[in-house]
A and B are shown apart, each in its own frame.
Chain A
Amino acid sequence: MQEPRDPAELLKAAADDDQTAWDELESRFGPRMWAVARVCGLTEADAADAVQGAWLRLLEHLHDIREPSGVGAWLATTTRREALLILRKELPRAPFFDVALDSDPAAAVLEADSSRILWRTVSTLHEPCRTLLQLVATDLGYQQVALRLGVPLGSVGPTRTRCLEKLRTLISSQETVQ
């Protein structure tokens, strides 16, 4: 079986008219770009625009990416920038996204393609945080979460906030160590 080509090689081949190299870039980095756009809070339609915009930017820069081996990170960053521009247009009064995009460790986690790390960190949390975050990540409503955890409905929101804060602290300390 053929060895997968490295990103720099793929980029060079794509610049030299190789559609298969472009397709391979897409299959390798597309899902991460989608995740970045969605994490920014975009709807599916807007996220599709942000991802496509990033690919069009790559077309514009096929021959002048400074670090070809880092094309994956370049695509993720470009997707985030396009997502931010879309958000600014749709929600002109939402400057908080600037802060969130630049400083939230979740962005770094996603861009490092390490969702494994995120879930490993969740698994180190004590209960009820571990179960609660697993439940809210599957889009269960507060009522269902309260039932599953056996806690009053009114306590789910505040507990969720506390658990996310703990997760954020743990992720941030990992980022610092790295």
Chain B
Amino acid sequence: MINDEYFLAALRLAAGNDPMPGHVSAAARDAYGLRVPQAVTAAPAECAAPHGVRGIDGCQLVRFVAAGLTFDLEVTVGDGLIDVAGQIVPHPGEGTHVDVRTPHLTLTRRLARTGQFAATGLPPGWLSVVCHRPGHAPVQTRWVRIRP
């Protein structure tokens, strides 16, 4: 039955009854401003808890690895906003900062000596963290979708 619905949706779309909303097009164009030149992209990796699972308190745990760095992100959605508590190991070195980014808002944080950082009050949707180390190419996590 679902295949019928799927086929009907194709017919409706082909009939031009479901045009793309303007805000979707605008968001796609704005996304170009989010590129990070020369960045290395950190891919998702297995962590102690399976990737992307929700923790016991409703938080989501995700791990990314690249360029010898491991990003552990604990993401919590509460009151319609996202809080991120993260750690980069090993510590990338003195003078490192991270950008916690969504398409609409970027929060910049210095790393603690433990490699930890936190950012709160981000809008739900796509999220990425970029690590800027002096003398090295930036490392960015893949974009991950966070919704309640």
Residues of chain A touching chain B, judged by Cβ–Cβ distance below 8 Å, are 14, 19, 22-23, 26-27, 30-31, 34-35, 38-41, 44, 47-49, 51-53, 55-57, 59-60, 62, 82, 85-86, 89, 94, 96-97, 100, 104, 106, 109-110, 115, 118-119, 122, 133-134, 136-139, 160-161, 164, 167-168
User: Is A137 in contact with B15, judged by CB distance below 8 angstroms?
Assistant: yes
Task: List the B side residues contacting A22 at CB < 8 Å.
Answer: 29, 32
Interface SS of chain B? helix
User: Is B27 in contact with A48, judged by CB distance below 8 angstroms?
Assistant: yes
| CA distance in complex: A50, B30 (Å) | 15
Task: List the A side residues contacting B19 at CB < 8 Å.
Answer: 31, 34
> For chain B residues 99-122, which have a beta carbon within 8 Å of chain A?
103
| CA distance in complex: A34, B17 (Å) | 12
- Select from chain B the residue with minimum beta-carbon distance to A54: B28
User: Is B8 in contact with A164, judged by CB distance below 8 angstroms?
Assistant: yes
Given contacts A97-B2, A115-B13, contact A59 B34 (CB under 8 A): yes
| CA distance in complex: A39, B25 (Å) | 18
* Interface check B14, CB cutoff 8 A: yes
Of B13, B17, B31, B140, which is within 8 A of A39 by CB? B13
Number of interface residues of B (CB under 8 A): 39
User: Is B28 in contact with A39, judged by CB distance below 8 angstroms?
Assistant: no
User: Is A137 in contact with B6, judged by CB distance below 8 angstroms?
Assistant: no
User: Is A26 in contact with B15, judged by CB distance below 8 angstroms?
Assistant: no
What distance in Å separates the Cβ of A13 from its nearest Cβ neighbour in chain B? 12
Of B10, B28, B145, which is within 8 A of A55 by CB? B28
Of A48, A62, A106, which is within 8 A of B10 by CB? A106
| CA distance in complex: A48, B142 (Å) | 18
Given contacts A26-B29, A48-B21, A164-B8, contact A53 B142 (CB under 8 A): no
What distance in Å separates the Cβ of A103 from its nearest Cβ neighbour in chain B? 9
Given contacts A31-B20, A56-B34, A86-B145, contact A38 B9 (CB under 8 A): yes
* Interface check B136, CB cutoff 8 A: no
